[in-house]
Chain A
């Protein structure tokens, strides 16, 4: 048992106990949900202060590749803390400013955070699939409207189901060829698989990730879902669900497909990297252009998410060390900035009952701080210097420029897309700010101040603190990102999680001669060397593990 397991187990346990308190959201159920998430975030921060990384947790004592192992390092704990804080914030916002929701809202947010933690930690492909499914189901249920047309959500369900069916079929094909589900083992056996198995499984599994990441042309479900969902759910969809899909896609790409070590020559195994890079570039630019034409603020934010995920996919496809660090930076920056933007949107919509941003005119006069927070979120997303997005985009450009022509095209598109994105987001900010011209349509109908309550300042200032921290002092983040990137890349060609064997050896005092010899040879057998490495070239074949049953 390990504290990392608590991130999965505790929210699930609380989630299933909450309905016992009654089907209506009560003071007690809200406090229980909020305190669970707060406690988990605190535990995560404490774990970050202690240097005990990386840890490997072997579930049920079954060593990989037979059992499931969790890989806990600084990056994964930071991601889980981020997701827990976003979930906490979404709950807090919904309780303070949103419409009354039944207790199922709290339950679903807790389930979402448990599944997100599981998907971040796990090193098992099927386990990853299951946790992603749970997040999708929770997100679907969260975004389903209580009254009114569920057509947007039905579209989400349809895309999600086809995506997971494709992913599951891909996993089945991959398992039939490789006989393991451990991501690192899969990576080491990938080269021995026959080309049809590689193509089919690779394309089908990646297709599943792309739909969940809202990559063009699989993004169709996103804008209508965001529009119909409350802003607190929009925050979860864009920060947690989509960010998690991107992180999982990267994990699959880095561990199983072993990244595109370089782009221009067809690298790694296929030219998957080029196809993904192209899709990412298309998504980046189309998402940004769609933002310019969008009249609805929530859909505008959805297209902004789509565009950002396109950039993340480009960085994943580049796969060189800098690009990988850019993936992490972008995920954090996007979650923080988009969280703040959804926060402002949610507040405004809860007062004006419309998400058409042109009719928000003049609200800034009553509460200027709202406009400032909108601009802060915008600066974070578009990457004004000394804001989190800046470090993400700077690292991305550094990585892309190492890649010749492809990289240069990518950087050009990034600059174009950033211009479009800035214009679109600043226009909304300007509409909020506008004091002159025709009188605001809300004159006299609105409460004078949208802001001003304790809960408002608590939430907004928490986001501001996180954004300023990451923007002004990114060293803590980049240190964790570099460590994780190196651990996942390994240095030899087949780099596999030693997780499994080492943890098993420590648990049972057993140390096989083969493993010992291997460690001595490459001289890094310390469990804390931060390297996910190969346990042995001589993996048991399927038929060996068949006889294990006896």
Chain B
């Protein structure tokens, strides 16, 4: 059991906890939190894909210039994680706005399955 396994397991459990949270309730806030957990799990997993033992942070400093080839972390996953965090922020904000709309029109955050009641507007 090394660090990689530990991180991978925690990432996948976050994803699993999120999935369970989606399945086990009908509260909009609970769903938002669950989706957030899933996204966090994936982000941790993404960071992990760029890591391997002994690698250094991919920032060029003076100590690199002399010592021949040095193993870097793969910087691409870090860039992906940044993007994915930003997307997550956007969708979470949007979902919170929807939750507010839901609370205003139904007086509760429990989302029952009757979308048929929506009015038809142009």
Interface residues of A (CB under 8 A from B): 97-99, 126, 130, 133, 137, 140-141, 144-145, 147-155, 157-158, 160-162, 164-165, 168-169, 171-172, 175-176, 179, 181, 224, 227-228, 230-231, 298, 346, 349-350, 353-355, 542-543, 545-547, 549-550
Contact = CB atoms under 8 A, between A and B. Distances in A.
Nearest to B87: A133
B90 interface: yes
A421 B16 CA distance: 40
20 contacts: A98-B122, A99-B122, A137-B94, A145-B118, A145-B119, A145-B121, A148-B121, A151-B115, A154-B98, A161-B35, A161-B91, A162-B35, A165-B18, A168-B42, A224-B116, A227-B115, A354-B120, A543-B71, A550-B70, A550-B72
Nearest to B68: A550
Contact of B115 (A157, A171, A228, A349): A228
B69 A169 contact: no
Nearest to B84: A168
B83 interface: yes
Given A148-B121, A355-B120, 20 more contacts: A130-B83, A133-B91, A148-B118, A149-B115, A149-B117, A150-B105, A154-B28, A154-B102, A154-B111, A157-B95, A161-B95, A165-B15, A168-B46, A172-B45, A176-B49, A224-B118, A298-B120, A346-B122, A543-B71, A549-B72
Interface string B75-105: 1110010011001001100110111011001
Interface of B: 15, 18, 22, 28, 31, 35, 38-39, 42, 45-46, 48-49, 55, 58, 60, 64, 69-77, 80, 83-84, 87, 90-91, 94-95, 97-99, 101-102, 105-106, 111-122
B22 A549 contact: no
A172 B101 CA distance: 34
A157 B91 contact: yes
Contacts of B31: 154, 158
Contacts of B87: 130, 133, 137, 164
Contacts of B113: 151
B111 A140 contact: no
A147 B102 CA distance: 10
Nearest to A227: B118
A169 B84 CA distance: 11
Contacts of A550: 60, 64, 69-70, 72
A90 B87 CA distance: 26
- Most-contacted residue by chain A among B74, B113, B114, B121 (CB, 10 A): B121
Contacts of A350: 122
A149 B105 contact: yes
B18 to A, nearest CB: 8
Contact of A126 (B72, B80, B101, B116): B80
B91 to A, nearest CB: 6
A228 B28 contact: no
A137 B38 contact: no
A149 B90 contact: no
Given A150-B101, A152-B115, A172 B74 contact: no
A181 B74 CA distance: 13
B122 to A, nearest CB: 4
Contacts of A150: 98, 101-102, 105
A149 B106 CA distance: 7
Contacts of A160: 91
A126 B77 CA distance: 10
Contacts of A181: 76
- Most-contacted residue by chain B among A130, A353, A543, A550 (CB, 10 A): A550
A97 B122 CA distance: 8
B115 A162 contact: no
Contacts of B58: 549
7 tightest A-B CB contacts, nearest first: A224-B115, A176-B49, A152-B115, A228-B118, A350-B122, A150-B101, A151-B115
A354 to B, nearest CB: 6
A480 B80 CA distance: 34
Contacts of A162: 22, 35, 38
Given A349-B122, A353-B120, A550-B69, A542 B111 contact: no
A157 B15 contact: no
A161 to B, nearest CB: 5
B42 A172 contact: yes
B42 A144 contact: no
A91 B55 CA distance: 52
Contacts of B80: 126, 171-172, 175
Contact of B74 (A133, A147, A171, A542): A542
Contacts of A161: 35, 38, 91, 95
Contacts of B121: 99, 145, 147-148, 230
- Most-contacted residue by chain B among A154, A172, A179, A346 (CB, 10 A): A172
Contacts of A169: 15, 42, 45
